[in-house]
Amino acid sequence: MKKFLCVLAASLAAVPVFAEEGEVGIRPDILSVTVETVSGPVEIARIQDTENKLEGDWAKTSRSCPNFCVQPMTPAPGVTTIGELELLELLQDPEAIVVDSRVGHWFEDGAIPGAVNIPYTEAADRLDELGCEIDFDGFDCEGAKPVALYCNGNWCGQSPTAIRRMIEAGYPAEKIHYYRGGMQAWRLLGLTVSK
């Protein structure tokens, strides 16, 4: 009964709010979606001000390479690169985990609601939080959950590095999704950011 109530609650929370003409929707038919977070439900929507613009660090177009080089579309063979709509679907999937692979100070400055912070430097050591089991040889990832990783944007190497390290540690590449646009694309679309 408890499992049924959890599934019912998750499905009710995933019901989108439909957009009306003239509103800034996620899609023409969806104004917002609600996702469960450790702090409770959060509604993800786009900023309704059609004059809104990015400012500060998120408006920068050029960063020094290295460290901020353009990242490949696919960080490793078998990994699926996704956009915002696919990420929103994963955020609503109770089996999936969305991972913010940035170091702590970036996460604290704002993240995608529902994401958990596993810094790229720790990803290969924390696979037990993603459905793998610790065994004598490292990790048994037969029960690995679907995950999506992101970082700061197309120029950020934190999530690609985390993905490659996770695969080397035994995480199945076909269970990994890469949101390449990261926080810069998320903010560019005016989507909700949690602090």
- pTM, rounded to two decimals: 0.86
Signed CA dihedral, 164, 169, 170, 176: sign only: negative
Q: What is the average pLDDT score of the chain?
A: 90
Q: Which CATH number fits domain 63-188: 3.40.50.2300, 3.30.540.10, 3.40.250.10, 3.10.310.30?
A: 3.40.250.10
Catalytic center residues: 151
Convert the pLDDT of each residue in 3-40 to its tens digit.
433 433 444 345 555 556 678 999 999 999 999 999 99
Q: What's the helix, strand, coil split of the chain in %, to 5?
A: 30, 20, 50
Distance from C-alpha of 176 to C-alpha of 121, rounded to nearest angstrom: 17
Each residue of 57-102: pLDDT tens digit? 899 989 999 989 999 999 999 999 999 999 999 999 999 999 999 9
Backbone angles phi, psi at 75, to 5 degrees: -75, -20
Query: Is pLDDT of 159 > 80?
Result: yes
Helices (H), the chain: 2-13, 84-92, 104-108, 158-168, 182-188
CB atoms within 10 A of CB 157: 20
C-alpha radius of gyration, the chain, whole number: 17
